[in-house]
Chain A
């Protein structure tokens, strides 16, 4: 009888082991592996400089950036965002009423997993939620007002290290894993994943652009991008990447975009917020 039981247990354990291995979700190990991969590949890049994207990889570009940054092109967006932050909604409340610490110096905590709603809340999503909760029309996710408000919030958080948390909640782990899957999944007719450019090819050129490393890539957002001739948000960056590989972009606020930002920001924990940034 005992022998039969032991055999049955052995069969069950043997069958379950590969399943557990395949579904293993370990964000801490991912973050460690991410950091090791990029620091080994780019040993001359100071850790905190990864957030400066292509400028950490290319000396010529860096010089241009330093010159441009003497009169930062995102300044107008920061000023506009500050003004918008101070302007009351129709109900008399302001953005400050929607955020911890009145919205100042908190960019490094976004995205976070909201255990109440069971979903990832990115900063852009939170801004639009704030507007909706106060009877205002939500912003376009890609530029203009959204870029201005998030630029101001990033500006007040500069230098603060990413501190993304994954609560002990299977839904949070699942969201993280979905974000990771999105990041590594090839899509579009050109069959590129986010990782194809930002893990396999950072520092290399794709046409005239130097590709940024994935490590710390969300820290500089939103950005003023010369190619856009204006500001763009995290959503705009994701949507542009999708279009560039001939895939259809997702709508602003889509769960996939929030999840991939959650993954990317988590594996960049400890790196400083540098946004708003400037990019070619």
Chain B
């Protein structure tokens, strides 16, 4: 009985350790998030509609990654990706509706 409790405890502890390891982002996680963001930023750049906040988020991501703070780095890269997506949506929408604001 006692052994079974200890085994269960060990399993739980190991699972807890695994969970902790899973939540800590690695350099590879950052590289992956950064590559995803870069691909979207490239599209925004092609539309000549990058936002300065996107660039700032990517810089923050790199700075955090250089300091070994990969959780923070991934978060900033994901933020940059979201901002780049929003700027693309803005450009696409404006291409359709800019004439609504025209002085006639």
Partner of B90, one of A30, A186, A196: A186
Cross-chain contact A187 with B94 (CB below 8 angstroms): yes
CB distance B51 to A256 under 8 Å?
no
Whether A246 is near chain B, meaning CB under 8 Å from some CB there, is yes
- B52 lies within 8 A of A248 (CB): yes
Q: Is A247 an interface residue (CB 8 A)?
A: yes
A199 and B52 contacting across the interface, CB-CB below 8 Å: no
**A76 on the interface (CB 8 Å rule)?**
no
| A258 CB, min distance to chain B CBs, angstroms | 13
Which residues of chain B are near A174, meaning CB under 8 Å? none
| In contact, B90 and A184 (Cβ under 8 angstroms) | no
Q: Of A184, A186, A250, which is within 8 A of B48 by CB?
A: A250
User: Which residues of the other chain, B, contact A256 by a CB distance below 8 angstroms?
Assistant: 48
Q: Is the CB of A195 within 8 A of B52?
A: no
- Shortest B14–chain A CB gap in Å is 45
A200 CA to B103 CA in the complex, in Å? 10
A191 touching B90 in the complex, CB below 8 Å, given contacts A181-B98, A247-B49:
yes
Scan residues 190-216 of chain A and give those whose CB is less than 8 A from a CB of chain B.
191, 193, 195-196, 199-200
Tally A residues with Cβ within 8 Å of B. Answer: 24
Q: Does A188 contact B (CB under 8 A)?
A: yes
Choose one: B51, B53, B90, B103; the contact of A33 (CB below 8 Å). Answer: B103
- B94:A185 contact, CB within 8 angstroms: yes
Inter-chain contact B103/A248, CB cutoff 8 Å? no
B55 CB within 8 Å of chain A: yes
**A190 CB, nearest partner CB in chain B, Å:** 9
Q: Counting CB contacts under 8 A, is B28 at the interface?
A: no
Which residues of the other chain, B, contact A87 by a CB distance below 8 angstroms? none
Distance in angstroms from B86 CB to nearest chain A CB is 8
Name B28-55 residues within 8 Å CB distance of A.
48-55
Q: A184-B99, A184-B102, A195-B101 are contacts. A189–B51 as well, Cβ < 8 Å?
A: yes
Across the interface, B51 reaches (CB within 8 A) one of A37, A185, A248, namely: A248
Residues 77-104 of chain B, each 1 if its beta carbon lies under 8 Å from chain A, else 0:
0000001001100110011001101111
- Known interface pairs A189-B83, A247-B52; A33-B104 also in contact (CB < 8 Å): yes
Q: Tell yes or no: A65 within 8 A of B by CB.
A: no
B41 to chain A, nearest CB (A): 10
Q: List 22 A-B contacts (CB under 8 A).
A: A30-B103, A33-B104, A37-B103, A180-B102, A184-B98, A184-B99, A184-B102, A185-B94, A187-B90, A188-B52, A189-B53, A189-B83, A191-B90, A196-B101, A243-B52, A246-B51, A246-B52, A246-B53, A248-B50, A248-B55, A250-B48, A256-B48
User: A-side interface residues toward B, CB under 8 Å?
Assistant: 30, 33-34, 37, 180-181, 184-189, 191, 193, 195-196, 199-200, 243, 246-248, 250, 256
